[in-house]
Amino acid sequence: MSNNFAEVSVEDFSKITMDRLPHQEIETALITMGGGGVRGTEFKTDMLKRAGWTGNALTSFAKRPEVAAEAFNRVRLAIAETEDPDKLRSILD
């Protein structure tokens, strides 16, 4: 898995594009790190909350783009340090 993700910008959450955006790549990486499927999705949710995301399952990132971008960029920097789930948790705590 590549741990070099582009920086997430506030505008990414309102773009319409066929290209995958940085936050989508980070989400995929987190789901993979968490073991895929439901476990991976729960891991992704947990890591984003640890990184500062304050929304719930029904809150879109576009509704709070500043908070979302900050959380994703914090995760992006943490993943650059480690791909180990336990170490990622400790970095984001």
Q: Are 6 and 22 in contact (CB under 8 A)?
A: yes
User: Which amino acid does the sequence have at 61?
Assistant: F
* Mean pLDDT value across residues 18-26: 96
Asked whether residue 74 is assigned to any structural domain, the reply reads yes
3 found inside a domain = no
Q: Tell me how many domains the chain contains.
A: 1
User: Which domain range does residue 77 map to?
Assistant: 20-92
**Average pLDDT of the chain to the nearest whole number:** 95
pLDDT at position 2 is 53
Mean pLDDT for 50-66 is 94
Residue of 84, 70, 66 lying closest to 29 (CA atoms)? 84
The answer, yes or no, to whether residue 9 has pLDDT greater than 70, is yes
Assigned domain for 83 exists: yes
Confidence of residue 76 (pLDDT cuts 50, 70, 90): very high
Residue 57, pLDDT score: 84
